[in-house]
């Protein structure tokens, strides 16, 4: 960090922007500006990510030794449950849509705000209320069911605060539905003149596909959680075999949402990567229509694969076959995206700035995570690795190696726009490398220990698995440091960072045509779109001519 004194550009000369329109608490908590709501989400998801991360650290500490010696079994079970609930429902699902989606969608399509700004603020409150309620339940009361709440353990046998946690997740589900609805309507009705569907940035396409899943899938988890609560409180009997119910039915209902929810987490990340790759190769995205269509294909197929979570639960062999082939098929549009991103770099003008480092990390880790996902779609192989650390490794490659890499890459790329400041380039590159190395050291050994047979959610484990677990814990320590570095320099840059130009990367896209940080109304004049997106050549010619 070269500069240690505040940037002395006089404040009086500062253009009016969304950050300096008001400084009071009320100006933030009652804002209906999508950009300020994005900042509120940034605070929320960072908080829940930190909580989830602390719980992960406790889990890795316990698994350093084979014996369950740091925590009691019951405590350990509460740790991984809280880690899962916080990370899945209050970080991964609202993360990119809440922060980057909120900030960028109106800017990218040349709109002044989202379609329903008040609803947008309500989404944030529902998210925070749900999140804090679930946090209180899992920390104060404790829940030991795992984030999957499988019956009849969760309904009859668990002593934890399942109901309160379920209500917390239920409430935040409405946040997800309202955000999806808001984005869908915004993208349909508020695009700038000239921005047809095929001129829309790919991040918007992926958010569109995400919104479809949020609107269609989330009500199902809401119903499932209500049934769970009714079963636990009123002994309804839907999932209770003693009353003629079926515990596996819960799994079907749960995964009918929760598998598509995986795509709520990864589709926005894919959208971010499409933007980063094209900006840092300074080249139109390769296969625009195929990337856009593959987002919609993923959203559609995502609803048809839930049964691959029940390959060993006794579902019929033929149902297994259908879910297996459909699960394989959802891999194809993901592969199409990876190939197109790679092709975009070909003959590009590639600049290795931090966001691209994250994007390249994403492509590598997502490719590997996706391919290991095919192993889980293969019926005969899934029987062995189901419910082992192999699964844990696979979904962390997608969620942490994929989504978090993309989220951080996006945060770096748009940080100058969001904050009006630049972050220190040296430290940001260091953090990208530390995270990449720490991540692989944490999760690669888990593939091996999983195939060797170590089941997930084990407080104590046989001694022969220790070496791999020690590697994993060592990696997690590095990963933790990697996450703290950006937290420090982002906070630092808000006050001490160099002021950012309106378009520091020389990127295309309407969000770069407005000042950094943007004014409250985003654009002084509503822009008109005259060409396809990512048009670097024409833009340059015009600049040269003008």
Partner 1 sequence: MPFVPPQASSFAPHVDALYGFMIAVTAFFSILIGTLVVVFAIKYHRKSPDEVATEIHESAVLEIAWTIIPVGIVLVMFYWGAQVYFRITRPPADAIEIYVTGKQWMWKIQHADGHREMNELHVPVDRPIRLTMASEDVIHSFFVPAFRFKRDVVPGRFSTAWFEATEPGKYHLFCAEFCGTRHSGMIGWVYVMTPPEYQAWLSGGVAGESLAAAGAKRFVEHACNTCHGDQPGARGPSLNGIFGKPVRLQGGGTVLVDEAYIRDSIVNPHGKLVEGYPPIMPTFQGLISEEGLLQLTAYIKSLSPAAAPGAVTPMPAAAAAERKPAKP
| Site for partner 1, residues 199 to 258, rule: CB under 8 A | 241-242, 244-248
Closer CB to partner 1, 152 or 519, in the complex? 152
Kindly identify the residues of this chain, within the stretch 60-99, that bind partner 1 according to CB under 8 A: 68, 73-74, 77
**Binding of residue 153 to partner 1 (CB under 8 A):** yes
Q: Which of 439, 461, 489, 523 binds partner 1 (CB under 8 A)?
A: 461
Q: Which of 296, 335, 474, 485 binds partner 1 (CB under 8 A)?
A: 335
Tell whether residue 130 is a contact of partner 1 (CB under 8 A): no
- The H or E element spanning position 467 is helix 466-496
Nearest to 398, CA basis, from 365, 375, 376, 374: 365
95 alpha carbon, distance to own chain's centre: 5
User: According to CB under 8 A, which one of 319, 332, 481, 487 is a site residue for partner 1?
Assistant: 332
Ranges within 288-317 binding partner 1 (CB under 8 A): 288-290, 312-314, 317
SS3 167: helix
Check residue 117 for interaction with partner 1 (CB under 8 A): no
Nearer to partner 1, 101 or 402 (CB): 402
Among 282, 309, 417, 421, binds partner 1 (CB under 8 A): 282
Number of residues that bind partner 1 (CB under 8 A): 95
Q: How far apart are CB 169 and partner 1 at their closest, in Å?
A: 18
Q: Rounded to whole angstroms, how far apart are CA atoms 10 and 8?
A: 6
Pick from 4, 234, 347, 546: which binds partner 1 (CB under 8 A)? 347
Q: Are 518 and 18 in contact (CB under 8 A)?
A: yes
Shortest gap between Cβ of 505 and partner 1 (angstroms)? 11
Q: Are 439 and 365 in contact (CB under 8 A)?
A: yes
Binding-residue pattern over the window 421 to 460 for partner 1, x denoting contact by CB under 8 A = ---------------------------x--xxx-xxxxxx
Judged by CB under 8 A, the chain residues 522 through 541 that form the site for partner 1 are 536-537, 540
CA 30 to chain centre: 26
396 touches partner 1 (CB under 8 A): no
- Residue 273 CA to residue 356 CA, distance in Å, equals 9
Closest to partner 1 by CB, 7 or 74 = 74
The answer for residues whose C-beta is within 8 angstroms of residue 65's C-beta and 6 or more apart is 466
Cα R_g (the chain), whole angstroms: 23
The residue assigned the tokens 């529902």 is: 126
User: Which lies closer to partner 1 via its Cβ, residue 20 or residue 75?
Assistant: 75
Taking contact as CB under 8 A, which single stretch among the options 3-11, 150-158, 216-224, 513-521 is the one that binds partner 1?
A: 150-158
Is residue 378 involved in binding partner 1 (CB under 8 A)?
yes
How many CB atoms within 10 Å of residue 136? 14
Q: What are the structure tokens assigned to 196, written together?
A: 């047809």
Of 255-274, binders to partner 1 (CB under 8 A) are: none
Closest to 408 in 3D by CA, of 343, 344, 479, 465: 479
With binding defined as CB under 8 A, does residue 141 bind partner 1?
no
The span from the CA of 8 to the CA of 214, in Å, is 45
Single out the residue of 136, 328, 427, 444 in contact with partner 1 (rule: CB under 8 A): 328
Give the footprint of partner 1 on residues 155-194 (CB under 8 A): 156-158
133: which residues sit within 8 A by CB, 6+ positions away? Answer: 164, 165, 167, 168, 171
Restricted to residues 2-61, the positions that interact with partner 1 (CB under 8 A) are none
Among 16, 384, 491, 495, binds partner 1 (CB under 8 A): 384
CB of residue 226 vs partner 1: minimum separation in angstroms? Answer: 21
Does position 197 interact with partner 1 (CB under 8 A)? The reply is: no
Task: Rounding to the nearest 10 degrees, give the CA dihedral for residues 296, 300, 301, 306.
Answer: 130
Which residue's CB is nearer to partner 1, number 166 or number 284?
Answer: 284
Q: Which is nearer to partner 1, 152 or 219 (CB)?
A: 152
Task: Give every CB contact of residue 540 below 8 A, 6+ residues apart in sequence.
Answer: none
The CB density around residue 34, as the number of other CB atoms within 10 Å, is 26
CB-nearer residue toward partner 1: 247 or 416: 247
Query: How far is the C-alpha of 99 from the C-alpha of 116, rounded, in Å?
Result: 16
- Asked whether the bond before 152 is cis by omega within 30 degrees of 0, the reply is yes
Can you tell me which of 47, 339, 427, 492 binds partner 1, judged by CB under 8 A? 339
How far apart are the C-alpha atoms of 168 and 174, rounded to whole Å?
A: 10
The rounded distance, in Å, linking the Cα atoms of 7 and 5 is 6
With contacts defined by CB under 8 A, name the span among 92-100, 223-231, 328-336, 426-434 that binds partner 1: 328-336
Pick the closer one to partner 1 by CB: 61 or 248. 248
Shortest separation between residue 374's beta carbon and partner 1, angstroms: 6
Of 468-497, binders to partner 1 (CB under 8 A) are 468
Q: How many CB atoms lie within 10 A of CB 67?
A: 11
Q: How far is the CB of 267 from partner 1 (least distance, A)?
A: 19
Q: Does residue 113 touch partner 1 according to CB under 8 A?
A: no
Task: Please list the residues that pair with 421 across neighbouring strands.
Answer: 499
Q: Among residues 183 and 465, whose Cβ is nearest to partner 1?
A: 465
| Distance separating alpha carbons of residues 157 and 96, to the nearest angstrom | 36
CA distances from 110 to 2, 104, 249 (A): 36, 10, 45
């Amino acid at each position: 960090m070269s500069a240690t004194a505040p940037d002395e550009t006089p404040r009086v000369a500062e253009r009016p922007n969304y950050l300096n329109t008001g400084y009071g608490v009320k100006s933030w908590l009652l804002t209906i500006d999508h950009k300020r709501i994005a900042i509120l989400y940034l605070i929320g998801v960072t908080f829940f990510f930190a909580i989830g991360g602390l719980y992960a650290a406790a889990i890795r500490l316990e698994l350093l030794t084979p014996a369950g010696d740091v925590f009691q079994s019951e405590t350990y079970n509460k740790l991984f449950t809280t880690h899962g609930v916080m990370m899945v429902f209050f970080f991964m699902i609202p993360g990119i849509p809440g922060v980057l989606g909120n900030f960028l969608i109106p800017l990218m399509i040349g709109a002044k705000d989202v379609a329903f700004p008040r609803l947008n603020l309500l989404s944030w409150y529902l998210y925070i209320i749900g999140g804090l309620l679930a946090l209180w339940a899992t920390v104060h009361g404790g829940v030991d069911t795992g984030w999957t709440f499988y019956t009849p353990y969760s309904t009859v046998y668990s002593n934890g605060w399942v109901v309160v946690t379920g209500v917390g997740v239920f409430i935040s589900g409405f946040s997800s539905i309202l955000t999806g609805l808001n984005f869908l309507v915004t993208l349909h009705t508020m695009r700038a003149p000239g921005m047809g569907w095929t001129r829309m940035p790919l991040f918007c396409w992926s958010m569109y596909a995400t919104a479809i899943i949020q609107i269609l899938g989330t009500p199902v988890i809401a119903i499932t959680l209500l049934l769970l609560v009714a079963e636990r409180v009123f002994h309804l009997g839907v999932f209770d075999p003693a009353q003629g119910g079926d515990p596996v039915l819960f799994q079907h209902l749960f995964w009918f949402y929760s598998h598509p929810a995986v795509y709520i987490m990864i589709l926005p990340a894919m959208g971010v990567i499409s933007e980063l790759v094209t900006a840092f190769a300074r080249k139109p995205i390769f296969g625009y229509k195929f990337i856009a269509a593959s987002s919609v294909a993923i959203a559609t197929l995502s609803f048809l694969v839930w049964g691959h979570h029940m390959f060993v639960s006794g579902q019929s062999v033929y149902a297994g076959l259908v879910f297996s082939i459909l699960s394989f098929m959802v891999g194809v549009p993901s592969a199409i995206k990876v190939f197109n991103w790679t092709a975009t770099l070909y003959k590009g003008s590639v600049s290795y700035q931090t966001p691209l480092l994250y994007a390249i990390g994403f492509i590598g880790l997502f490719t590997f995570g996706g391919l290991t996902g095919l192993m889980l779609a293969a019926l005969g192989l899934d029987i062995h690795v189901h419910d082992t650390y192999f699964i844990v490794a696979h979904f962390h490659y997608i969620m942490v190696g994929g989504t978090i890499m993309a989220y951080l890459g996006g945060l770096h790329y748009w940080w100058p726009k969001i904050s009006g400041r630049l972050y220190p380039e040296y430290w940001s590159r260091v953090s990208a490398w530390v995270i990449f190395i720490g991540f692989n050291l944490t999760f690669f050994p888990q593939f091996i220990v999983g195939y060797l047979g170590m089941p997930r959610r084990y407080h104590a484990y046989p001694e022969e698995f220790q070496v791999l677990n020690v590697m994993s814990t060592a990696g997690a320590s590095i990963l933790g440091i990697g996450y703290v570095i950006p937290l420090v320099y982002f906070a630092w840059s808000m006050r001490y960072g160099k002021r950012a130009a309106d378009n520091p990367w020389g990127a295309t896209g309407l969000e770069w045509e407005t000042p950094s940080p943007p004014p409250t109304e985003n654009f002084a004049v509503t822009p008109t779109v005259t060409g396809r997106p990512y048009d670097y050549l024409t833009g340059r010619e015009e600049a040269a001519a003008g």
